[in-house]
C-alpha cells in the first residue's frame, strides 16, 4: 500500500513539470514581458523606460531560460523560468503584481473561508443527493420517480448564476433573513454562510441526484441484488446494505477527487457573496490582470487535483476489498 | 439609397457552415446505411427527444439567420467612385429585426411600457420644470393616452398574433400530415386521425403541439414587438428581445464549434493511443493527464488573459469590433475545446483498447492491412457513437459555462451579445428601486429553454445510441464537481 502511494506520488512529478512548462509557455512565450508591461501600464503612450522599470521591478528583465551572460549555475538560475516558474515547485509563489503582497500568505489565510463554504456544501450535498437518489431508486418506474427525474433535469438546466441571484434577491433582499454578502472571521460567520451553502446545494442538486440515481439503477439489476431479494430481505435493506455499498465505488470516484479542490472554493459563489476565499482571490486577479497570482492558482489547482486522484485510488481499496495494489 | 450588400464571412461563420455541411454529410451517409439508421429511428420515436428537437430547431433557425453576415454599402458620393461598405457587420437576423435594433430608447423601460422606468426632470407644457416619467420615443408611441388605450391595444396585438400563429401552425400541420400520408401510402384523413390519436411511430403529435406552443408565444411577441418593447429595454435603451435573440447565436456557437474544434485531436490521439499502445500511448496519456489536471476554469482564465494581452497590444490586426469579438469567440471555443477533449480522448482510448482485441480487427491485421487503415476503417466507425454522445451531452454544459466565464471576465468579448453578458449587466440592477427584472427574466427564460431542450435531446440520443455508456460519459467542461473545476 505504502509502496503504491509512493509510486503514485512519483508519477505526479512529471505531470506537475508538464503543467509548469505549459503555464510558463502560456505566460511568457505567447506574450513577451514587454507586452504584459504595456498592458499593465496602458497600451498607448508608454515610454520604453517605463517598460524597463516595470520589468526590472518584477524580475522580468532577465532572459527566459538561459542567461548566457552569467556564469556557472547562475546561467540557469538567473532567468525568468527559474525565478518565476521553477520556484512554484517549492510553493514559492512570489509576490502579487498588483499589490505586492505575498501570495503564499494570501493563500494560507484565504483557504479557511473557501473551505467554510465548500466543505458544508460538499458533505451535506453528498448526503442529500444520495438520499434523494436512493428514494428515486426505491420508487423506480413510478410517477414519483419520473417527477423526480423531471425535477433534476429542470434543475440542472438552470445556470448556477440564477440560483445565486435568485437566492440573494429572495432571501436577503425581499425577506431580509440573512446579509446579502460578506464574511466574518469568528463564529458569527454562520449568518453569512447559510445562503451560499444553500445556494451551492441547490446548484448541484439536479445533476448529482440524477447521476447517483443512474448508478443505483445500474446496480439494482445485478444478480446479487436478486439473490438478496430472493432470500427475503425487505427492499429498503437491499438498497442500503447491498446497492448503496456497491454503488459507493463509482460515487467515490467522483467525490474524493473533489475533496482537495474544495480548498480552491468556487469562483462565482465567492465573488457574488463577497467571501474572502481563494475563489474571489482568483477572480480579483483575473480582473486586475495579475498574471503571477493566476499562474500560482493554476499550479496550486493542479497539485490539489493530483492529490485528489491519489486519494481516489486509495479510497478504492477501502471500499472495495477486491482491489489490491500490489 | 444604396442597397448593395457584400457578404462577410467571419471565422466562426465559416466554422458554423462547416459544421452544417458535416452534419448534412453525416445525415446523408447514415441514411444510406440501415445499421446506422436504426438508432436514430429510436431517437425519432422518443417523445421528449422530438419535442426538444423541435425547440432546438427554432433556436438553430435564429442562430443560422444570425450567422449570415454582410456589410451594407455606403451611399455613393460620385458615380465614378468605387463602392464603399459600412464597417458595421450585420446579419440576416439584424435585417429582419431592424426595427428592434434601431428603435433605441434612452435607458431602462419595463416590458410593454409607454413611459420610462425612472423619473426625469422635464419641461412641462407651461414651461415649469417638473419630475415625471417621460414618454418613450418608440415604445407605445402610437398611443395618445397610454393609460387608457394600452390594455386594449395589447389585447388586440395578442389576438392578431395568435391568429397569425394559428394560421401558420395549421399550414405546417397540413403540410406535415401530407408528407407523412404520402410516406405511409395512406389517405390524408386516415393519417391525420392516426397522427392525432398518437398512433404513428414517430410522435408527430408531440412535435406539432410543441410547435403550436412556440408559435402561440412567438406570434403575439412578433406582432407586439413592432409597437412596444415586449421585453423592455436595457441600460442604454436597447430592446431586450433583440439582445436575447442575438445571444442565441453565441450560445449555439460555443456549444457546437467547441466540439468541432476539439474533435480531430480527441479522435486521432484517442484512437492512436488505444490502438498503437506502447510509447505513443504513454505520451498521449501524459499529455491529456497533464491538461486535465489543470482545473478548467483556471486554464481558460489564463489562456484568455493571455490572448487579451495579445489582442490589446496588436490592435492593427483586428479592423473592426465585430471581427475582434469574433476572434475572441473563436479563441474561447478553442480553449474550451482544449479543456474538454481530454475526457473524450480517454474514453476513445479505452474503447480502442477493447476493439483492437476483437476478431475482426485481428483478422484485418492478419491480412496485412495497414495500421492507419485499420484505425480509419475498423476502429473509427465503431467508436463514433461515443463522439456523438459526448458532443450532444457536452452542448448544454458549454452553454452554461459561457455564462459563468463571461461573468468571471474571461468569456466572450464585452461587445458581443451573450447570455453571460446579459446576466452580468443585469445582476447589479436588481438593487434598483423599483427593481429591473426583465433583463434577467428574458435571459433566464431563453437560456433555460435552450439548455433544457438540449439536455432532453441529449438523453434521447444517448439512450438510443448506447445504453451502456449512460451517464458515464463525463460532461467535458464544468462538470461542476467531478471534473474538479468548481465553477
**What pTM value is reported for the model?**
0.90
Distance from CA of A49 to the nearest CA of B (A): 17
- Chain B, 393-422: which have a CB under 8 Å from a chain A CB? 396, 400, 403-404, 407-410, 419
B282 touches chain A (CB under 8 A): no
What pLDDT is recorded for position B471?
43
CB atoms within 10 A of CB B142: 13
B122 bridge partner residues: B130
B432 touches chain A (CB under 8 A): no
User: Which chain B residues have a beta carbon less than 8 Å from that of A289?
Assistant: 305, 308-309
Three-class DSSP category at A45: coil
Tell me chain B's radius of gyration from C-alpha atoms.
26
Q: CA nearest A203 in B: which residue?
A: B480
Mean pLDDT value across residues B454-483: 62
B444 touches chain A (CB under 8 A): yes
Contact predicate A172/A191, CB 8 Å? no
A95 touches chain B (CB under 8 A): no
Instruction: Point out the residue among B289, B299, B315 whose CB comes nearest to the CB of A15.
Output: B289
Contact predicate B443/B430, CB 8 Å? no
- From first to last of its 326 residues, chain A has per-residue pLDDT tens of 788 888 888 988 999 999 998 888 888 877 777 777 777 777 667 778 888 887 777 777 777 777 777 777 777 777 778 777 777 887 888 888 777 788 899 999 999 899 999 999 999 999 999 999 999 998 888 999 999 999 999 999 999 889 999 898 888 888 888 888 888 877 778 888 889 999 999 998 999 999 999 889 888 888 999 999 999 999 888 988 889 988 888 888 778 888 888 888 888 889 889 899 999 999 988 888 888 898 899 999 999 999 988 888 888 777 777 776 65
Instruction: Point out the residue among A19, A162, A258 whose CB comes nearest to the CB of B484.
Output: A258
- The pLDDT tens digits of the residues spanning B368-412 come to 999 899 999 899 988 888 888 888 888 999 999 998 898 888 888
Q: Answer yes or no: is pLDDT of B470 > 70.
A: no
What the block records as the C-alpha cell of B119 is 423619473
User: Which chain A residues have a beta carbon less than 8 Å from that of B479?
Assistant: 207
* Per-residue b or e along B311-329, where b marks 16 or more CB atoms closer than 10 Å to that residue's CB: bbbeeeeeeeebbbbbbbb
- The pLDDT tens digits of the residues spanning B168-181 come to 999 999 999 999 99
Q: Which residue has the higher pLDDT, B347 or B468?
A: B347
- The pLDDT tens digits of the residues spanning A17-58 come to 999 988 888 888 777 777 777 777 776 677 788 888 877 777
Average predicted confidence (pLDDT) for chain B: 85
CB contact under 8 A, B482 and A257: yes
- The pLDDT tens digits of the residues spanning B232-253 come to 888 888 899 999 999 999 999 9
CB contact under 8 A, A159 and B459: no
**For chain A, how many residues are written?**
326
Whole-angstrom Cα distance, residue B321 to residue B385? 39
B130 bridge partner residues: B122
Short-list A160, A228, A159, A168, CA closest to A195: A168
Could you give the ipTM of this predicted complex? 0.88
What pLDDT is recorded for position B246?
92
Which residues lie closer than 8 Å to B187 by C-beta, 6 or more apart? Answer: B181
Grid-cell match 384523413, residue found: B189
Q: CA nearest B433 in A: which residue?
A: A173
Instruction: Point out the residue among B444, B452, B481 whose CB comes nearest to the CB of A162.
Output: B444
Contact predicate B236/B101, CB 8 Å? no
Whole-angstrom Cα distance, residue A15 to residue A20? 9
A37 touches chain B (CB under 8 A): no
Whole-angstrom Cα distance, residue A219 to residue A246? 7
Amino acid at each position: 500500500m505504502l509502496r503504491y502511494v509512493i509510486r503514485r506520488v512519483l508519477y505526479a512529478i512529471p505531470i506537475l513539470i508538464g503543467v509548469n512548462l505549459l503555464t510558463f509557455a502560456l505566460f511568457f512565450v505567447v506574450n513577451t514581458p514587454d507586452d504584459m508591461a504595456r498592458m499593465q501600464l496602458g497600451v498607448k503612450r508608454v515610454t520604453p523606460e517605463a517598460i524597463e522599470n516595470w520589468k526590472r521591478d518584477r524580475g522580468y528583465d532577465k532572459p527566459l531560460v538561459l542567461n548566457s551572460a552569467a556564469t556557472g549555475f547562475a546561467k540557469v538560475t538567473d532567468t525568468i523560468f527559474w525565478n518565476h516558474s521553477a520556484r512554484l515547485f517549492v510553493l514559492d509563489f512570489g509576490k502579487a503584481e498588483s499589490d505586492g503582497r505575498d501570495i503564499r500568505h494570501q493563500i494560507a489565510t484565504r483557504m479557511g473561508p473557501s473551505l467554510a463554504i465548500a466543505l458544508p456544501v460538499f458533505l451535506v450535498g453528498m448526503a442529500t443527493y444520495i438520499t434523494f437518489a436512493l428514494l428515486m431508486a426505491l420508487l423506480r418506474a413510478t410517477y414519483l420517480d419520473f417527477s423526480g427525474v423531471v425535477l433534476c433535469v429542470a434543475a440542472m438546466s438552470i445556470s448556477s448564476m440564477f440560483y445565486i441571484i435568485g437566492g440573494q434577491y429572495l432571501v436577503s433582499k425581499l425577506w431580509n433573513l440573512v446579509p446579502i454578502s460578506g464574511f466574518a472571521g469568528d463564529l458569527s460567520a454562520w449568518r453569512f454562510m447559510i445562503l451560499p451553502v444553500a445556494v451551492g446545494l441547490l446548484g448541484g442538486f439536479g445533476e448529482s441526484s440524477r447521476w447517483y440515481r443512474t448508478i443505483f439503477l445500474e446496480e439494482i439489476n445485478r444478480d446479487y441484488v436478486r439473490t438478496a431479494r430472493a432470500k427475503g430481505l425487505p427492499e429498503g435493506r437491499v438498497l442500503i446494505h447491498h446497492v448503496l455499498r456497491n454503488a459507493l465505488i463509482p460515487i467515490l470516484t467522483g467525490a474524493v477527487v473533489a475533496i482537495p479542490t474544495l480548498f480552491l472554493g468556487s469562483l462565482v459563489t465567492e465573488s457574488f457573496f463577497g467571501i474572502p476565499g481563494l475563489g474571489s482571490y482568483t477572480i480579483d486577479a483575473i480582473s486586475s490582470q495579475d498574471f503571477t497570482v493566476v499562474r500560482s492558482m493554476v499550479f496550486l489547482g493542479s497539485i490539489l487535483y493530483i492529490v485528489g486522484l491519489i486519494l481516489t485510488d486509495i479510497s478504492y481499496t477501502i471500499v472495495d476489498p477486491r482491489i489490491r495494489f500490489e | 439609397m444604396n442597397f448593395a450588400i457584400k457578404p462577410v464571412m467571419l471565422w466562426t461563420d465559416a466554422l458554423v457552415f462547416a459544421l452544417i455541411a458535416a452534419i448534412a454529410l453525416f445525415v446523408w451517409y447514415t441514411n444510406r446505411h440501415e445499421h446506422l439508421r436504426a438508432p436514430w429511428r429510436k431517437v425519432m420515436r422518443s417523445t421528449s427527444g422530438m419535442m426538444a428537437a423541435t425547440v432546438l430547431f427554432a433556436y438553430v433557425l435564429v442562430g443560422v439567420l444570425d450567422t449570415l453576415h454582410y456589410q451594407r454599402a455606403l451611399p455613393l458620393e460620385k458615380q465614378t467612385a468605387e463602392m464603399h461598405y459600412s464597417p458595421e457587420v450585420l446579419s440576416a437576423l439584424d435585417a429582419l429585426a431592424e426595427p428592434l435594433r434601431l428603435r433605441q430608447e434612452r435607458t431602462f423601460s419595463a416590458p410593454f411600457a409607454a413611459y420610462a422606468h425612472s423619473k426625469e426632470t422635464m419641461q412641462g407644457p407651461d414651461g415649469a420644470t417638473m419630475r415625471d416619467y417621460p414618454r418613450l420615443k418608440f415604445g407605445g408611441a402610437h398611443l395618445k393616452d397610454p393609460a387608457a388605450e394600452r390594455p386594449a391595444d395589447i389585447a388586440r396585438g395578442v389576438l392578431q398574433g395568435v391568429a397569425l400563429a394559428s394560421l401558420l401552425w395549421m399550414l405546417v400541420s397540413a403540410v406535415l400530415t401530407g408528407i407523412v400520408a404520402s410516406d405511409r401510402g395512406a389517405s390524408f384523413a386516415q393519417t391525420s386521425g392516426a397522427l392525432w390519436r398518437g398512433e404513428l411511430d414517430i410522435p408527430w403529435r408531440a412535435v406539432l403541439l410543441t410547435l403550436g406552443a412556440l408559435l402561440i408565444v412567438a406570434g403575439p411577441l412578433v406582432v407586439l414587438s413592432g409597437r412596444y418593447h415586449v421585453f423592455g429595454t436595457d441600460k442604454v435603451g436597447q430592446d431586450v428581445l433583440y439582445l436575447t435573440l442575438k445571444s442565441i447565436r453565441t450560445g449555439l456557437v460555443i456549444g457546437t464549434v467547441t466540439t468541432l474544434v476539439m474533435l480531430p485531436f480527441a479522435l486521432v490521439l484517442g484512437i492512436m493511443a488505444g490502438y498503437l499502445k506502447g510509447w505513443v500511448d504513454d505520451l498521449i496519456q501524459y499529455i491529456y493527464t497533464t491538461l486535465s489536471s489543470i482545473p478548467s476554469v483556471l486554464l481558460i482564465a489564463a489562456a484568455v488573459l493571455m490572448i487579451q494581452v495579445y489582442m490589446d497590444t496588436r490592435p492593427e490586426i483586428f479592423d473592426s469590433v465585430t471581427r475582434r469579438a469574433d476572434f475572441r469567440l473563436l479563441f474561447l471555443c478553442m480553449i474550451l475545446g482544449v479543456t474538454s477533449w481530454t475526457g473524450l480522448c480517454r474514453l476513445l482510448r479505452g474503447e480502442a483498447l477493447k476493439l483492437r482485441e476483437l476478431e475482426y480487427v485481428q483478422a484485418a491485421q492478419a491480412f496485412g492491412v495497414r495500421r492507419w487503415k485499420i484505425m480509419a476503417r475498423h476502429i473509427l466507425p465503431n467508436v463514433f457513437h461515443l463522439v456523438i454522445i459526448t458532443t450532444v451531452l457536452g452542448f448544454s454544459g458549454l452553454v452554461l459555462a459561457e455564462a459563468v466565464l463571461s461573468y468571471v471576465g474571461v468569456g466572450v468579448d464585452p461587445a458581443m451579445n451573450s447570455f453571460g453578458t446579459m446576466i452580468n449587466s443585469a445582476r447589479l440592477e436588481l438593487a434598483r428601486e423599483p427593481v429591473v427584472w426583465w433583463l434577467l427574466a428574458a435571459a433566464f427564460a431563453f437560456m433555460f429553454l435552450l439548455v433544457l431542450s438540449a439536455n432532453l435531446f441529449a438523453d434521447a440520443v444517448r439512450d438510443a445510441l448506447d445504453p451502456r455508456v449512460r451517464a458515464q460519459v463525463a460532461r467535458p467542461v464544468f462538470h461542476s464537481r467531478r471534473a474538479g473545476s468548481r465553477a
